[in-house]
Amino acid sequence: MSNENPEHSEAGVYRVKGQSFNRDTNYIEDRILDEPGAEWPVEAGRYRLVVARACPWAHRTTIVRRLLGLEDAISMGICGPTHDKLSWTFDLDPDGLDPVLQIPRIRDAYLKRFPDYPRGITVPAIVDVPSGGVVTNNFPQITLDFSTQWTRFHRDGAPDLYPEALRDEMEEVMRPIYTEVNNGVYRCGFAGDQDAYDSAYDRLFAQLDVLEDRLQGQRYLMGDHITEADIRLFTTLVRFDPVYHGHFKANRSKLSEMPALWGYARDLFQTPGFGDTVDFVQIKQHYYIVHTDINPTQIVPKGPDLRNWLTKHGREELGGSPFGDGTPPGPVAKGEEVTEGNGVPVAA
């Protein structure tokens, strides 16, 4: 895939004028494993997850970490919603430095390990705190490893987000969610010409229609309980009306005009671990300020009114429960709360 003209460092986004959108998927594939002799062994307190609340790919990791109760085992650094051509920065922290890594940019952790790192500087990334170098930025594997390799540190009552009996079916469900929906909105927004946009638009809404049909008869993508598949879809759905519908021209329908998907998204949003990780203000700031070729004025829209995220969804009638035999996570860890007013107003 081309790595010309990097637009921003959200899990490797690139566009070449006059062509279809390409995503650089050549990630650092090292894994943190709970097995003897692992180069990067599972070890509480050793690693720091670096995210940006604006980024949908990083958002997956914040949800999974919270649902599984890994806050005490894996610390989290939060970049600001905007960045320059070099990388995401820790501009929300005092003195602009991550308080654990003591660096101003996530780029510094990449260069600490790979001085000539040639690819996109992306979030999420896991950093080895003792060495200060990035271990991995392979976002799809990070969340699966949280579920399968960090089990010793899961909270009591943590859900099984990657059930072994469902994995083959889950992979079939998640594959088009990634190619057609998660990546599809970017394919619309970063299309290099009309034909590329038209094709991306058709593919996106064809898959959303498939998901709309699937969710009419069951509460979650895999049945009665939440799984990794729901998390991967949610992070795109929650950004759809505030950003993708207008900014990326994914405008056949708003999410709120697709009944099953809209009810499903609200059901998840109102589940602990999902809505309490959403920062709508930072999400809008990122897309509308950083993408200057799409939005040269950098004006961030005031709308839409997001209080409808707290309205009744009625999905309980389909049966099931989000956590199965498990329990919901407790309160958000101190210091990781979404800033008051940056999510949905309480008085919905």
> pLDDT by residue (tens digit) across 222-248?
999 999 999 999 999 999 999 999 999
The answer to whether position 202 is within a domain reads yes
- Is residue 186 part of the annotated active site? The answer reads yes
pTM: 0.94
Is 88 annotated as a binding-site member? yes
Q: Are 313 and 270 in contact (CB under 8 A)?
A: yes
What pLDDT is attached to residue 10? 61
Are 197 and 144 found together in one domain? no
Please give the Cα distance from 77 to 242 (Å, whole number): 25
The mean predicted confidence, pLDDT, of the chain is 93
The verdict on residue 335 lying in a domain is no
Residues 255 and 135 placed together within one structural domain of the fold: no
Higher pLDDT, 25 or 173: 173
141/118 Cα distance (integer angstroms): 21
Above 80 in pLDDT, residue 25? Answer: no
Of 91, 124, 153, at which residue does a domain stop?
Answer: 153
Does residue 239 lie within any of the structural domains?
A: yes
Residue 235, both tokens? 């992070």
Choose the weakest-confidence range: 21-25, 88-92, 188-192. 21-25
Please say whether the beta carbons of 332 and 340 come within 8 A. Answer: no
* Residue 215 shares a structural domain with residue 260: yes
- Same domain for 55 and 87, yes or no, is yes
Catalytic residue among 14, 186, 287, 288: 186
Buried b (16+ CB within 10 A) or exposed e, 1-15: eeeeebbbbbbbbbb
- Regarding whether 282 and 217 lie in a shared domain, the answer is yes
Residue 246 pairs with which residues in a beta bridge? none
Q: What is the helix (H) or strand (E) element at residue 93, kind and residue range?
A: none
The answer to the question of residue 247 being in a domain is: yes
CATH no. for residue 89?
A: 3.40.30.10
Q: Cα dihedral angle (189, 193, 196, 198), rounded to 10 degrees?
A: 80
Of residues 2 and 322, more confidently modeled? 322
Q: Using the 3D structure, point to which of 124, 153, 182 is the last residue of a domain.
A: 153
The catalytically annotated residue of 27, 55, 220, 244 is: 55
Residues paired with 234 in a beta bridge: none
Per DSSP, the three-state class of 134 is: strand
Confidence of residue 174 (pLDDT cuts 50, 70, 90): very high
* One domain for residues 227 and 258: yes
Which of these, 232, 267, 262, 313, lies nearest to 11 by C-alpha position? 232
Quick one: 275 and 186 in the same domain?
yes
Q: How far is CA 250 from CA 160, 195, 201, 208, 232, in A?
A: 33, 14, 6, 11, 18
Q: What is the CATH number of the domain that holds 264?
A: 1.20.1050.10
At residue 23, does pLDDT exceed 70? no
Residue 205 sits in the same domain as residue 286: yes
Claim to verify: residue 139 and residue 194 sit in the same structural domain: no
pLDDT in tens, 126-136: 999 999 999 99
How many residues are there in the chain?
348
Beta bridge partners of 137: none
Q: Judge if 311 and 190 occupy the same domain.
A: yes
CA dist 15 and 37 (Å) reads 40
Enter the tokens of residue 10.
């959200």
Q: In what order do the strands lie in the sheet with 6-8?
A: 6-8, 13-14, 22-23
Kindly state whether residue 139 falls inside one of the protein's structural domains.
Answer: yes
Q: Are residues 185 and 131 in the same domain?
A: no
Q: Is residue 25 included in any domain, yes or no?
A: yes
Active site annotation includes 201:
no
Residue bearing tokens 């980024």? 55
**Per-residue pLDDT reduced to its tens digit, 314-330:** 999 999 999 999 999 99
| Domain count across the chain | 2
Q: Which two structure tokens, joined as six digits, stand for 82?
A: 């905007």
Residue 345 lies in a domain: no
Q: What is the pLDDT of residue 18?
A: 53
Q: Are residues 194 and 139 in the same domain?
A: no
Question: What is the domain range of residue 111?
Answer: 6-153
Confidence bin at 348 (pLDDT 50/70/90): very low
Q: Please report the pLDDT score of residue 19 as a whole number.
A: 64
| Domain final position from 125, 153, 181 | 153
- Beta-bridged to residue 77, according to DSSP, are 50
Tokens describing residue 167: 């994995």
Q: If you search the block for the tokens 């996109």, which residue do you land on?
A: 120
Evaluate whether residue 329 is within a structural domain.
Answer: no
